[in-house]
Structure 1
Amino acid sequence: MIRVGLTGGMGAGKSTVAATFVERGAYLIDADKIAREVVAAGTPGLAALVEAFGDDILDPAGELNRPGLAAKAFVDDESRATLNRITHPLIGARTTELLDAAPGDAIVVQDTPLLVEGHMAPFFHSVIVVDADVEMRVHRLVNSRGLDEADARARIAAQATEEQRRAVADAWLVNHGTHDDLAQQATDLWTQRLVPYELNVRRGIVAEPVAELVAADPDPAVLGTRLTNRLWALAGERATAVEVIGAATGIRAVTALQITARDEAAATELPDLLRAGGFPADGDGAYASADPGRPARVTVVA
């Protein structure tokens, strides 16, 4: 199983990519859907919100009035913290339930609008960003979703920047064409990269790099940082250092990294964690990427 983080700004076309993946067998976890579920009528989550913010956040049918909640929850940092303290644990618990229910050979796609803002990228095997020009996104939000133009621009401006998204992206899908154009990009990514990646992880096989995928890296300059962050997420307290010891400079060049294990006991725990995280043993005493679009080799020293 691999976990794929799917994100992008409002109006970029993320839902089209998610639907395309689902049609091909993805196990979808929708963060927005979970956020609604945990505060639906009759849930402990909604009861907690009413206790914290008052029963005037409910509509006549007893459902959550989201604009009414927003008017109270986003007035200051303390109110926002109260909202997060109630909802975040519930969302996390439900997400864990769904992950635990995923098949062992699943490609789990987690549709997560605030993936970048929440600093969640290192915890996924791969991060996919869907992008579109700001003016195009504003047009879609106004004409398809009925947002006021000023509101649409304000919401876009409040989200992560393109630079921030590129820093964490393993794949970058550009939605400047038709629905079918974007769906085809998603299909190609699914077939050429995600399916082989999942199979490699499940079988513990190092990937054969695919030049076209490597060349399309959204931001090669930060690949080392991206990989370092992923390895820290896998190793956790078992490591005292994770560093790049050889940067990739060509299409098929491999980024070399080194993990310094806390001690011998920690070093013995790392192989299973690395394999599950997308870095199986390479047969030469090191570990290498199972992702055909991201060549990397990892050594562990104690």
Structure 2
Amino acid sequence: MLKVGLTGGIGAGKSAVATRLAERGAVIIDADVLAREVVRPGTDGLAEIVALFGPGVLTPAGELDRPALGRKVFGDEEARRGLERIIHPRVRTRTADLTHGAAPDAIVVNDVPLLVEAGLASSYHMVVVVAADRELRLERLTRLRGMTAAEAAARIDAQTDDATRSVAGDVVLVNDADLDRLHHQVDELWRDRLVEFERNVRLRRSAPKGSGLRIVPPDPEWPRVAARLSARIRHGLGADVEVDHVGSTAVPGLPAKDVVALMLSVRTLGEADALADRLGELGFPRRSGEWTDNAHGVPGGTWPKRMHGCADPGYRVNLHVRVTGSPGWRFALLIRDHLRAVPEARDAYAAAKIELAERHPDRAEYAVAKEPWFEAEARAADDWAAATGWQPGRVTPRSRPA
């Protein structure tokens, strides 16, 4: 089962996307529908709302008077939070029930308007954001929903801003044209990513990365991808687990293969093996085979680890699972921090990467060819660590401005 969070600002067109996904075969769970369901007449949810806000929030027929309730909570943070404490747990319970009732191969889309505001992004395999220009959203709200311009602007401003929402999204669908264009984007997402993603999660396999080698310029999206995926791992395994963005994509300004490297720290390899199934459920299936790190500074030495990939065909990810304190664990953190702090070392590595990639277009050959550079970098990084007092997990000031 694949769990997708769908969100977007009011007037962006989220409902149109949900409808199209349903036509493709997705199971849609609409948070707004559930929010109405849990406060129907006779429910304990409605009883708690009346107890908190008074009988003035009821219609003569005994139903919730939503405009009256809206006037009480709009602009009143304490009142809004009180209402959320009543509705949100009930919606979460109903969502869980409906999700558990879906087929094992279902693509379950949770339509949640305030997904980002509620901090729910990390609970899904993927988050899809529907975006549209503010002026277009204002026009839709006034023309299609009968709001005044002031009411529409107030509703938009009460939600998080578009930039924050988009950063949380693995996919951003821009709804600034006609419905056919939006449907085309949704159909592409379904065909090229969601269907394969679900199958990969169910079969516990990684999306292929390909054997070709290509070094690309630094991409500001790399740290955002790392943050999103790390948050999912922490949400799925427990907030206290340690997940770090390592490798070349973790160093600002450094060209790299377009593969985000993450590192999950564990106490033992037995713990790593025990977490493998859960990581697979989260979309990070274990890669088969034996994996080791070179123990730099110990000639011929290696250190075992576990390797996981990513089931999402839209991402290229290596998840290294290393024992805390092992040479490979320390080296990954040390090299990252050294290259971040010392621009000359970063630039030398960038030049070496480009030269070696031209001479060794095969991934495996390229990895072997880089080992002499890593040996030299390990010695330089160790000297830097001794001079600066660097320790794993401790932020060290830059040696010089980048």
Give the TM-score taking structure 2 as reference length. Answer: 0.69
* Most deviating of 265-274 and 91-100: 265-274
Q: Which runs of 5+ in 1 are unaligned?
A: 212-216
Q: What is the Cα deviation at residue 273 of structure 1?
A: 1.1
Q: What is the Cα deviation at residue 34 of structure 1?
A: 0.5
Q: What is the Cα deviation at residue 225 of structure 1?
A: 1.4
Separation in structure 1 between the aligned mates of residue 239 and residue 71 of structure 2, nearest angstrom: 41
Code of the residue aligned with 1:280 in structure 2: it is P
Q: What is the Cα deviation at residue 84 of structure 1?
A: 2.0
Conservation of the 8 A alpha-carbon contact between 1:170 and 1:218: no
Does 1 or 2 have the higher relative contact order (CA < 8 Å, sep 6+)?
1
Select 1:296's aligned residue among 317, 328, 342: 317
Q: Verify: 1:5 aligned to 2:28, yes or no.
A: no
Separation in structure 2 between the aligned mates of residue 19 and residue 200 of structure 1, nearest angstrom: 24
Note the 1:240-251 alignment, pairs <5 A: 241-248=242-249
Separation in structure 2 between the aligned mates of residue 227 and residue 271 of structure 1, nearest angstrom: 16
1:172 maps to which residue?
172
Q: What is the Cα deviation at residue 264 of structure 1?
A: 5.7
Select 1:278's aligned residue among 257, 260, 283: 283
CA spacing shift, 1:40–1:7, aligned 2, 3 Å: same
CA spacing shift, 1:166–1:246, aligned 2, 3 Å: farther
CA spacing shift, 1:194–1:53, aligned 2, 3 Å: same
Separation in structure 1 between the aligned mates of residue 74 and residue 151 of structure 2, nearest angstrom: 16
Separation in structure 1 between the aligned mates of residue 221 and residue 142 of structure 2, nearest angstrom: 31
SS at match of 1:243: strand
Conservation of the 8 A alpha-carbon contact between 2:59 and 2:65: yes
Flag the structure with larger Rg. 2
Q: Verify: 1:42 aligned to 2:55, yes or no.
A: no
Separation in structure 1 between the aligned mates of residue 36 and residue 258 of structure 2, nearest angstrom: 44
Q: Could you tell me the percent identity over the aligned residues?
A: 44
Q: What is the Cα deviation at residue 111 of structure 1?
A: 0.5
Q: What is the Cα deviation at residue 261 of structure 1?
A: 2.1
Q: What is the Cα deviation at residue 47 of structure 1?
A: 1.3
Separation in structure 1 between the aligned mates of residue 95 and residue 77 of structure 2, nearest angstrom: 25
Residue by residue over 1:95-152, the C-alpha shift from the partner in whole angstroms, topping out at 9 and shown as x without a partner, is 1111111111110100011111111111110111111111011111100111111111
Q: Verify: 1:223 aligned to 2:225, yes or no.
A: yes
Conservation of the 8 A alpha-carbon contact between 2:223 and 2:245: no
SS at match of 1:49: helix
CA spacing shift, 1:244–1:218, aligned 2, 3 Å: closer
Residue by residue over 1:186-216, the C-alpha shift from the partner in whole angstroms, topping out at 9 and shown as x without a partner, is 01100100000000110011102599xxxxx
CA RMSD of aligned residues (A): 2.2
Separation in structure 1 between the aligned mates of residue 133 and residue 220 of structure 2, nearest angstrom: 16
Code of the residue aligned with 1:292 in structure 2: it is P
Conservation of the 8 A alpha-carbon contact between 1:209 and 1:293: no
* Most deviating of 31-40 and 87-96: 87-96
Residue by residue over 1:65-114, the C-alpha shift from the partner in whole angstroms, topping out at 9 and shown as x without a partner, is 01211233346443333222221221111111111111111101000111
Conservation of the 8 A alpha-carbon contact between 1:141 and 1:152: yes
2:202 maps to which residue?
202
Conservation of the 8 A alpha-carbon contact between 2:73 and 2:80: yes
Note the 1:227-266 alignment, pairs <5 A: 227-236=229-238, 239=241, 241-248=242-249, 253-262=258-267, 266=271
Note the 1:124-203 alignment, pairs <5 A: 124-203=124-203
Residue by residue over 1:228-276, the C-alpha shift from the partner in whole angstroms, topping out at 9 and shown as x without a partner, is 212211221562x110112547796211111112556643331111100
CA spacing shift, 1:113–1:293, aligned 2, 3 Å: same
SS at match of 2:238: helix
Separation in structure 1 between the aligned mates of residue 191 and residue 74 of structure 2, nearest angstrom: 42
CA spacing shift, 1:262–1:83, aligned 2, 3 Å: farther
Give the TM-score taking structure 1 as reference length. Answer: 0.91
Conservation of the 8 A alpha-carbon contact between 1:207 and 1:289: yes
